[in-house]
Chain A
Amino acid sequence: MRVAGKGLIDRTETVPFVFDGVSYNGFRGDTLASALLANDVRLMGRSFKYHRPRGVLTAGSEEPNALVTVGEGGAQEPNMRATMQEIYPGLAARSQNRWPSLGFDLMGINDLGAPFLGAGFYYKTFMWPKAFWEKVYEPIIRRAAGLGGLSGQDNTDKYESAYAFCDLLVIGAGPAGLMAALVAARAGADVILADENARMGGRLLAETYEVDGKPGHVWADEVLAELRGMDNVRLMTRTTVAGAYDQGTYAALERVLHHTDRRPNGAPLETYWRIVAKRSVLAAGALERPVAFRDNDRPGIMTAGAVRTYLNRWGVSPGRNVTIFGNTDDIHRTARDLLEAGVHVAAVIDSRHDAPLSDDYQVLRGAQVCGSAGRKGLESITVRRASGEEKIHTDCLAMTGGWNPSVHLTCHMNGRPTWQRDIAAFVPRPDAVPGMETAGACNGSFSTDACLREGIAAAEAALDDLGMKAPKTTVPQAEDTPYEIAQLWAVPGKGRAWLDFQNDVTVKDVKQAATENFRSVEHMKRYTTQGMATDQGKNSNVAALAVLADATGRGISETGTTTFRPPYSPMAIAALGAGAEGAGFKPQRFTTSHKAAVARNAPMVEAGLWYRPSYFPQAGETTWRQSCDREVNMVRQAVGICDVSPLGKIDIQGPDAGAFLDFVYTNMFSTLKVGRARYGLMLREDGFVMDDGTTARLGETHYVMTTTTAGAGDVMKHLEFVHQGLRPDLDVSFTSVTEQWAQFAVAGPKSRELLNDLLDMQLDDESWPFMACGPVSVLGVAGRLFRISFSGEHAYEIAVPARYGASLYDILTKRAEVLGGGLYGMEALGVLRIEKGFITHSEIHGRTTAYDIGMGRMVSQKKDCIGKTMSQREGLEEPGRERLVGLKPIGESKQLLAGAHLYKEEAEPVRTNDQGYLTSVGYSPTLETMLGLGFLADGPDRYGEVVKMVDHLRGVTTLCEVVNPVFFDPDGGRVRG
């Protein structure tokens, strides 16, 4: 019910909203929870396991019960806490975990089976038959138990991530946080003040305290106004600092648009912030804990602090006839606030025998609530006193078991909190997070005065660390009530007393875990599920471990807490991965010929980050094989054009360039003639092959290295490592020129004819023999030409500055077509190189040596190089190693499959008989058969032998002849001619 004259809501603005299909009105500033309570709606959800009716327990982000689903379709958002969801015109929220309706839930039958459904029930019951788990038990359990669901559609909302930097991050904008921010800001520090609520002020908005003679919320607004006016301050509302990480990095989630249905174009629903702060102040406050007693989960039973928050902040009384139960003076504060607002207080049940009495309301000292009744909401409670049990009618019970400081962030870097007996709570261990100060209630200091003082002290300490001078600050006048508590975790008695409302864990479950020897708090948590799901045990951890401590005869301190991990409160995966969906997943690298290839309908394949055409379909071709065969024939018979720009190109210069290359390649490069290129093989230090490519010498101290497309980044890293880390004495530098040059292979018997038309000179075998290279003028533009070949044909690679790439590609295409040639893609490129036995990373896959690929003699004996020593290890050159061979099908089956294994013809195809495997296969239109490259034990010694290829996955067996891997033109006449 709404209470006149109370609350910080705007009563001039009525906000209509819908819950479970029913329309209600609230006011601007309401949360869904406060607006529903104002409309006397108490039932807001069903519990996880037993489907018990539940209402709000809290008024904050720790809410375990009132979880709702907001939005439809792709924008559907499950598990939104009604206590955090602000209402806006048009908000439509739905309750969860009930069918067919919240009021009548068929799964409520689980509640009747409760005696059987205790801790460990699933583990013990659904053991057999084993096959039933995945298909029968799990789907049933998952349907019955659970939180809200996703729509199954693509998320239509946008998310964002961002970085922020500051001198001081203040986490929480209650009295401690406000004071810390103010002091630091006045000193000139760059301050970020973040608070998870829509409005800053913390408990000052929820209590009736005065600060400096003004209502707390007025004082807070004045401080905020001052902060807002300073350009070194950034106020972040609706922003939960969710994690503390190394070197002053903090994660925070800003809920940008959950409080409105406005979705301006491109606007993020949430922003995931990475905040780097030189210092931080944690002023996260404290969370109130419930008391466990029989049936303490009925709608209408909530924490006393929540009752005061609803009353003072939102002008809502959760009941008309309220009872209050607990073990601190907070219960009396609650009674006074309610009475002052005109709400009837039926009784105050104080578990302390020395509790203060009052003239204004009835106090039952040394009493405990031991039960409740009411169908879908609280109707009465049972109070136990020395004199016996007594039933009291009430529609709302405000309870408190004391407060737990919000120590969570101080534990994110492995810090464990310390048990402080006098407040019966865990407090942060000092310096648990380097650079973080703690202040106020999160430190176990609960009075407003203490919060303000500690806020100032924390800011002063941070300023001191930052080398800044703190201004002189007077502590504002505020209440300084001592906190007196008598420990009270669970009221003894029969029936189910709830500890963890979210996971339906009772006192009995925790005791049973202890009985079954799950005595460690971490084991108890996993056995009972206490402390899991969206509230992560914020309402139950300490009480549960107190019960466990009692059951195992240990102290609370000795029992310890479970590990608090980020995030502090739930976070959408979409926010964590913001921007990385679709085209943002990784950069796309496009060659200068990309558009032309796409225009010719070439399907593009990814090669690292690059996109390359796989083939160029022509009219009448219905399969990729037809296109591929045609392109291969075209290169062998006329001329083909292929964009090879994605291959890594590294410019290497300096007086020691040759010496450096001798050290990273197995073979010699210092002896290479200027104007010539050479194939080079690069090893890792462990002796296995790392990469290969041709390197050209353009000048005395100037080389250009080519790497594989996939290896480009790793090779650059490797060169820099070898230079900086191992040979900083060498004067050499590296610059990637992959992007500077658009480079095209012009391959085939007519390649020279084509190029002679474009260059300012005529190519011939004498001036431009195989492996020659040098500068050329291409239609008047300075370019480079390399006579190298990956097809075994007479071929060139021609390079021009990338700005001319698209244009040159078009010209080459046109001219090739006139000569009976044209474009070829990656498929044809693959077949051409397999026909010639040229290797790629399919063969140099990290487990092969130079010896294995038939290049053992390329490891120069005249010099040291990376990987040489280890490549000569015993075992890496011994007989029996699997070495590169060619394979040709000779039996009935003509199919070869990459990844298939090789066996002796007569051997059973089992692991122990394994002789090798295929790495690359393709259909050769030149030789009219499939060809394969692979590794076979002692392969080069077995040419002519028949082996059996078996693909166990696809069920294919093919007999193959072992042959030289150079299937076509073995003496290399074509490449030179």
Chain B
Amino acid sequence: MRITCPHCGERDRREFYYRGAAVDLDRPAPDAGAEAWDNFVYLRENPAGVTRELWYHEGGCGAWIVVTRNTVTHEIQGSQLASEVNA
């Protein structure tokens, strides 16, 4: 498997650490309420199809990356710096 790092280009997946769904970037306000926080911390989709995931280029440049990937075809549709998502 190969993932494109927006800084470094296409790299072997062993350079990357997997975190999970990109939901982690949508941090609610402290007073958003129990349901919003429960969704943010615990609830995850398990899609057969397109999913957005967080990967860390740990064995590389240290960028956090949002990778859009299809869990059925394994096609990687794109990657974006996490720093640009909440910029």
Q: Which residues of A contact B (CB under 8 A)?
A: 163, 245-249, 274, 276, 413, 434, 685-686, 717, 720-721, 723-729, 864, 868-870, 873
Is A686 within 8 A of B2, CB to CB?
A: no
Q: A276-B2, A413-B74, A870-B37 are in contact. Are A728 and B86 (CB under 8 A)?
A: yes
CB closest chain-A residue, reference B64: A724
Is A724 within 8 A of B74, CB to CB?
A: no
Is A685 within 8 A of B41, CB to CB?
A: yes
Is A245 within 8 A of B1, CB to CB?
A: yes
Residue B62 interfacial (CB < 8 Å): yes
Task: Scan B35-48; emit 1 where CB is below 8 A from any A CB, else 0.
Answer: 00100111000000
Task: Kindly list chain A residues whose C-beta atoms are within 8 Å of the C-beta of B2.
Answer: 246-249, 276
Task: Kindly list chain A residues whose C-beta atoms are within 8 Å of the C-beta of B24.
Answer: 685, 721, 725
Residue B81 interfacial (CB < 8 Å): yes
Which residues in chain B, 60-85, are within 8 Å of chain A measured between CB atoms? Answer: 62-64, 74-76, 81-85
Is A721 within 8 A of B41, CB to CB?
A: no
State the CA gap A246–B28 with chains docked (Å).
35
Q: Which of B37, B42, B58, B83 is A724 in contact with, Cβ under 8 Å? A: B83
Is B30 within 8 A of A726, CB to CB?
A: no
Is B86 within 8 A of A246, CB to CB?
A: no
Q: Min CB distance, A859 to chain B, in Å?
A: 12
Is A725 within 8 A of B17, CB to CB?
A: no
Q: Which residues of B contact A (CB under 8 A)?
A: 1-2, 10, 12, 17, 19, 24-25, 27-28, 30, 34, 37, 40-42, 54, 56, 58, 62-64, 74-76, 81-87
Task: Kindly list chain A residues whose C-beta atoms are within 8 Å of the C-beta of B81.
Answer: 724
State the CA gap A727–B82 with chains docked (Å).
10
Task: Kindly list chain B residues whose C-beta atoms are within 8 Å of the C-beta of A723.
Answer: 83
Q: Which of A717, A725, A869 is B25 in contact with, Cβ under 8 Å? A: A725
- In the complex, 25 of the A-B residue pairs with CB atoms within 8 angstroms, ordered by the A residue number, are A163-B12, A246-B1, A246-B2, A246-B74, A247-B74, A247-B76, A249-B1, A249-B2, A434-B75, A720-B62, A720-B64, A721-B19, A721-B54, A721-B82, A725-B24, A725-B64, A725-B82, A725-B86, A726-B86, A728-B84, A729-B87, A864-B30, A868-B30, A869-B30, A870-B41
State the CA gap A721–B87 with chains docked (Å).
13
Q: Min CB distance, B4 to chain A, in Å?
A: 9
Is B30 within 8 A of A724, CB to CB?
A: no
Task: Kindly list chain B residues whose C-beta atoms are within 8 Å of the C-beta of A248.
Answer: 2
Is A869 within 8 A of B54, CB to CB?
A: no
CB closest chain-B residue, reference A434: B75
Task: Kindly list chain A residues whose C-beta atoms are within 8 Å of the C-beta of B28.
Answer: 869
Is B41 within 8 A of A725, CB to CB?
A: no
CB closest chain-A residue, reference B57: A720
Task: Kindly list chain A residues whose C-beta atoms are within 8 Å of the C-beta of B30.
Answer: 864, 868-869
Q: Min CB distance, B25 to chain A, in Å?
A: 5
CB closest chain-A residue, reference B58: A717
Task: Kindly list chain A residues whose C-beta atoms are within 8 Å of the C-beta of B64.
Answer: 720-721, 724-725
Is B1 within 8 A of A725, CB to CB?
A: no
Is B56 within 8 A of A728, CB to CB?
A: no
Task: Kindly list chain A residues whose C-beta atoms are within 8 Å of the C-beta of B10.
Answer: 247
Is A725 within 8 A of B74, CB to CB?
A: no
Task: Kindly list chain A residues whose C-beta atoms are within 8 Å of the C-beta of B54.
Answer: 721, 725
Q: Min CB distance, B17 to chain A, in Å?
A: 7
State the CA gap A117–B13 with chains docked (Å).
47
Q: Min CB distance, A660 to chain B, in Å?
A: 14
Is A720 within 8 A of B56, CB to CB?
A: yes
CB closest chain-A residue, reference B84: A728
Task: Kindly list chain B residues whose C-beta atoms are within 8 Å of the C-beta of A727.
Answer: 86
Task: Kindly list chain A residues whose C-beta atoms are within 8 Å of the C-beta of B86.
Answer: 725-728
Task: Kindly list chain B residues whose C-beta atoms are within 8 Å of the C-beta of A163.
Answer: 12
Q: A246-B1, A247-B76, A717-B56 are in contact. Are A726 and B17 (CB under 8 A)?
A: no
Q: Min CB distance, A162 to chain B, in Å?
A: 13
Is B56 within 8 A of A686, CB to CB?
A: no
Q: Min CB distance, A731 to chain B, in Å?
A: 12
State the CA gap A413–B75 with chains docked (Å).
11
Q: A276-B2, A725-B64 are in contact. Are A717 and B17 (CB under 8 A)?
A: yes
State the CA gap A710–B84 with chains docked (Å).
31
CB closest chain-A residue, reference B27: A726
Task: Kindly list chain B residues whose C-beta atoms are within 8 Å of the C-beta of A274.
Answer: 12
For the complex with contacts A245-B1, A249-B2, A728-B84, 18 further pairs of A-B residues with Cβ separation under 8 Å are A246-B1, A246-B2, A246-B74, A247-B1, A249-B12, A413-B74, A685-B24, A686-B41, A720-B56, A720-B62, A721-B64, A723-B83, A724-B82, A725-B24, A725-B25, A726-B86, A728-B87, A864-B30
State the CA gap A621–B71 with chains docked (Å).
60
The 4 residue pairs across chains A and B that have the minimum distance between CB atoms: A247-B2, A246-B1, A725-B82, A724-B83
State the CA gap A30–B34 with chains docked (Å).
74
State the CA gap A397–B64 with chains docked (Å).
64
CB closest chain-B residue, reference A685: B41
Q: Min CB distance, B49 to chain A, in Å?
A: 14
Which of B2, B62, B63, B64 is the most central at the interface, judged by chain A CB atoms within 10 Å of its CB? B64
State the CA gap A246–B14 with chains docked (Å).
13
Task: Kindly list chain A residues whose C-beta atoms are within 8 Å of the C-beta of B82.
Answer: 721, 724-725
CB closest chain-A residue, reference B10: A247
State the CA gap A869–B87 with chains docked (Å).
23
Task: Kindly list chain A residues whose C-beta atoms are within 8 Å of the C-beta of B76.
Answer: 247
Task: Kindly list chain A residues whose C-beta atoms are within 8 Å of the C-beta of B62.
Answer: 720
Task: Kindly list chain B residues whose C-beta atoms are within 8 Å of the C-beta of A729.
Answer: 87
Which of A723, A725, A726 is the most central at the interface, judged by chain B CB atoms within 10 Å of its CB? A725
Which of A247, A686, A721 is the most central at the interface, judged by chain B CB atoms within 10 Å of its CB? A247
State the CA gap A246–B16 with chains docked (Å).
15
CB closest chain-B residue, reference A874: B34
Q: Min CB distance, B55 to chain A, in Å?
A: 11
State the CA gap A727–B2 with chains docked (Å).
28
Q: Min CB distance, A806 to chain B, in Å?
A: 29
State the CA gap A971–B24 with chains docked (Å).
42
CB closest chain-A residue, reference B81: A724
Task: Kindly list chain A residues whose C-beta atoms are within 8 Å of the C-beta of B19.
Answer: 721
Q: Min CB distance, A161 to chain B, in Å?
A: 12
State the CA gap A43–B54 with chains docked (Å).
58
Task: Kindly list chain B residues whose C-beta atoms are within 8 Å of the C-beta of A717.
Answer: 17, 56, 58
Task: Kindly list chain A residues whose C-beta atoms are within 8 Å of the C-beta of B63.
Answer: 724
State the CA gap A562–B58 with chains docked (Å).
38
Task: Kindly list chain B residues whose C-beta atoms are within 8 Å of the C-beta of A246.
Answer: 1-2, 74
Q: Min CB distance, A266 to chain B, in Å?
A: 24
Task: Kindly list chain A residues whose C-beta atoms are within 8 Å of the C-beta of B87.
Answer: 728-729
Q: Min CB distance, B10 to chain A, in Å?
A: 8
Which of A248, A686, A721 is the most central at the interface, judged by chain B CB atoms within 10 Å of its CB? A721
Q: Min CB distance, A299 to chain B, in Å?
A: 45
Task: Kindly list chain A residues whose C-beta atoms are within 8 Å of the C-beta of B58.
Answer: 717
Q: Min CB distance, B1 to chain A, in Å?
A: 4
State the CA gap A724–B24 with chains docked (Å).
12
Q: Min CB distance, B48 to chain A, in Å?
A: 12
State the CA gap A727–B87 with chains docked (Å).
8
Task: Kindly list chain B residues whose C-beta atoms are within 8 Å of the C-beta of A728.
Answer: 83-84, 86-87
CB closest chain-B residue, reference A728: B83
State the CA gap A249–B2 with chains docked (Å).
8
Task: Kindly list chain A residues whose C-beta atoms are within 8 Å of the C-beta of B41.
Answer: 685-686, 870
State the CA gap A701–B28 with chains docked (Å).
28
Task: Kindly list chain B residues whose C-beta atoms are within 8 Å of the C-beta of A686.
Answer: 41-42
CB closest chain-B residue, reference A873: B34
State the CA gap A761–B79 with chains docked (Å).
54
State the CA gap A247–B3 with chains docked (Å).
8
Task: Kindly list chain B residues whose C-beta atoms are within 8 Å of the C-beta of A247.
Answer: 1-2, 10, 74, 76
Q: Min CB distance, A496 to chain B, in Å?
A: 43
Q: Min CB distance, B60 to chain A, in Å?
A: 12
CB closest chain-B residue, reference A714: B17
State the CA gap A720–B61 with chains docked (Å).
11
Task: Kindly list chain A residues whose C-beta atoms are within 8 Å of the C-beta of B85.
Answer: 725
CB closest chain-B residue, reference A247: B2
Task: Kindly list chain B residues whose C-beta atoms are within 8 Å of the C-beta of A724.
Answer: 63-64, 81-83
Task: Kindly list chain B residues whose C-beta atoms are within 8 Å of the C-beta of A720.
Answer: 56, 62, 64
CB closest chain-A residue, reference B14: A274
State the CA gap A245–B81 with chains docked (Å).
25
